[in-house]
Amino acid sequence: MIHNMEFETLPREALEAIQLRRLRATVERVNATVPFYREKFRQAGIVPADIKSLKDLQRLPFTTKADLRDNYPFGMFAVPMDNVVRIHASSGTTGKPTVVGYTARDIEMWAELMARSLAAGGASRGDIIHNAYGYGLFTGGLGVHYGAERLGASVIPISGGNTKRQVMIMKDFGPTILTCTPSYALHLAEVATEMGIDFKDLRFKSGVFGAEPWSEGMREEIERKLHLTAVDIYGLSEVIGPGVSIECIEAKKGLHIFEDHFIAEVINPETEEVLPYGETGELVFTSITKEAFPIIRYRTRDITSLNPEPCVCGRTLMRMNRVSGRTDDMLIIRGVNVFPSQIESVLMEIEGVEPHYQLVVDRVDNLDILSVMVEVGEGTFSDEVRVLQDLEKKITKNIKEYLGVSVKVKLVEPKTIARSEGKAQRVIDNRKL
């Protein structure tokens, strides 16, 4: 269902007029209130009045994660702390977290976008939302929570972890919508099975899964094991949190970007040139309505492409394709670029393999060696050694064939790869140690 009929179905021209007006106001405001942007604009020789068309966005400098670190914790805020009602932070793998702030109006806007997202994912008033995204500094839990309330649905603020208890509550409360990371969804299914509970007997209709990359094959696996329709939700703390874009349940083909609040571009990460629709590169976002933490041309490091074609659902909002990985996740194995999600796609095609895997990267004599640890099903594991050896060979061969890279495949026993309650750790990189 379309939550905001007016803004989600605007004709392009009307949408662009709104974008330009909001972009100009944002640039004006950050120039006046955030020393970092004022200085960046000065260095680029740009004044806010130079932004006369949407194309002029390309004249503005990019903002990077390093810029946010340099201004840690509150240096990028565009309002006095008196007006900040919420703070979130994203942990990241190294160093200090990235800190973001929200005014009361930002929270309102975010709740509206999350209500739109949940509606696109099949939720409405009367639904019970089992929200297993983590509550805390992470934006997932509270983001979904406010959206669910805005929609008028009932929300179970279960957060992540304590999985057995989650399953009991699912059985007793009869939630109809599941929200969590795709990896945790699979873990929930696994624990339910151990407890003798079949998702077939639960009431779930759909799940809104995101916060980490996942493949089409993983979607099929989740839909089969959890007996629900799985949609992809995308977002990042720096832009707002979850609710930047979402698949519609009607098409499940690309994520509609809430363009009345965020302008998306895709660039070549090396040359920084803006790429035409359809071409794959790094996603860049500019927020055009946020008050406390506006962001100009933020380089997300996420890799995708944009699709402006109309969608069957009736939304006119442009779609981005599923994020296949991050520029900083890319492994270069003997000269070949590989993303963990590509390995996942190959694994998911193979019979007998479970959706639990981990990639280990080592550097030996200046060469990156990639080991793929993957779990096999109980049935397969009890088979003869020869069967396992054949499976191992098959995986190695398929990865070589599809991705052009030689890897070491190691089959491991069921349930030996650590399960995640939030974002799964798919890569163990021993090169930095």
Pick between residue 138 and residue 204 the one whose CB is nearest to ligand DLL. 138
**Termini Cα distance of the chain:** 48
What DSSP character marks residue 275? Answer: P
213/232 Cα distance (integer angstroms): 9
Nearer to ligand DLL, 144 or 189 (CB): 144
Candidate list 67, 106, 212, 221; residue touching ligand DLL; CB under 6 A: 212
Query: Which residues in the 216-255 window bind ligand DLL by CB under 6 A?
Result: 232-237, 241-242
> If binding is defined by CB under 6 A, does position 90 make contact with ligand DLL?
yes
| The two three-digit tokens of residue 311, written as one number | 């969608």
Kindly state the smallest distance separating residue 281's Cβ from ligand DLL, in Å: 15
Q: Is the backbone peptide bond immediately before 73 cis, with ω within 30 degrees of 0? A: yes
Return the residues of window 13-72 that contact ligand DLL according to CB under 6 A: none
Minimum distance from residue 323 beta carbon to ligand DLL (Å): 4
Pick the closer one to ligand DLL by CB: 139 or 206: 139
Q: Which residue is nearest to ligand DLL (CB)?
A: 210
What pairs with residue 192 in β-bridges?
none
Verify binding: residue 189, ligand DLL, rule CB under 6 A.
no
Q: Are the CB atoms for 58 and 50 separated by under 8 Å?
A: no
Q: Is 284 in the site for ligand DLL (CB under 6 A)?
A: no
Task: Give the shortest CB-56-to-ligand DLL separation in angstroms.
Answer: 26
Write the Ramachandran bin of 205: left for phi over 0, alpha for psi from -120 to 50, otherwise beta.
Answer: alpha
> What whole-number distance in Å separates Cα of residue 125 and Cα of residue 119?
9
Query: Does 175 contact ligand DLL by CB under 6 A?
Result: no
3-state secondary structure of 172: helix
Residue 210 found at the interface with ligand DLL (CB under 6 A): yes
Interface map 330-349 toward ligand DLL (x if CB under 6 A):
--------------------
Of the two residues 238 and 260, which places its CB atom closer to ligand DLL in the complex?
238
Distance of CA 419 to the CA centre of its chain: 19
Tell me which of 112, 260, 265, 302 binds ligand DLL, using CB under 6 A: 302
| Residue 397 CB, nearest approach to ligand DLL (Å) | 28
Which range, of 44-52, 208-216, 307-315, 373-381, touches ligand DLL by CB under 6 A?
Answer: 208-216
**From candidates 213, 294, 340, 355, binder to ligand DLL by CB under 6 A:** 213
Exposure string (b/e) for 2-21, b if CB count within 10 Å is 16 or more? bbbeebbebeeeebbebbbe
**Of residues 163 and 215, the one with the C-beta less far from ligand DLL:** 215
Applying CB under 6 A, which part among 22-30, 156-164, 167-175, 210-218 lies near ligand DLL? 210-218
**Min separation Cβ 139 and ligand DLL, Å:** 5
CA distance 236 to 298: 11
Residue 101 or 242 with smaller CB distance to ligand DLL: 242
Total number of residues that touch ligand DLL (CB under 6 A): 21
Q: Mark residue 153 as left, alpha or beta (left: phi above 0; alpha: psi -120 to 50; beta: remaining).
A: beta
The residue behind tokens 């021993």 is: 430
Question: If binding is defined by CB under 6 A, does position 300 make contact with ligand DLL?
Answer: yes
Asked if 323 touches ligand DLL (CB under 6 A), the answer is yes
The bridge status of strand 408-412 relative to strand 367-376 is parallel
Residue entry with tokens 């981990």? 358
Contacts of 425 (CB under 8 A, 6+ apart): 358, 418
Measured CA distances, 206 to 199, 227, 231, 308, 312 (Å): 12, 8, 8, 26, 19
Torsion angle, alpha carbons of 190, 167, 145, 321, to 10: 20
Q: DSSP letter string over 15-71?
A: HHHHHHHHHHHHHHHHHHH-HHHHHHHHHHT--GGG--SGGGGGGSPPB-HHHHHHT
Subset of 131-170 contacting ligand DLL (CB under 6 A) = 133, 138-140
Q: Taking the complex as a whole, how short is the minimal distance between the CB of residue 164 and ligand DLL, in angstroms?
A: 23
> Is the distance from CB of 180 to CB of 209 less than 8 angstroms?
yes
**Position 294 contacts ligand DLL (CB under 6 A):** no
Residue 394 as a binder of ligand DLL (CB under 6 A): the answer is: no
CB of 251 to ligand DLL, least distance (A): 16
SS3 of 102, please?
strand
The residues that bridge with 178 in the sheet, in sequence order, are 130, 207
Residues lying near ligand DLL in the complex (CB under 6 A) are found at 90, 133, 138-140, 210-213, 232-237, 241-242, 300, 302, 323, 326
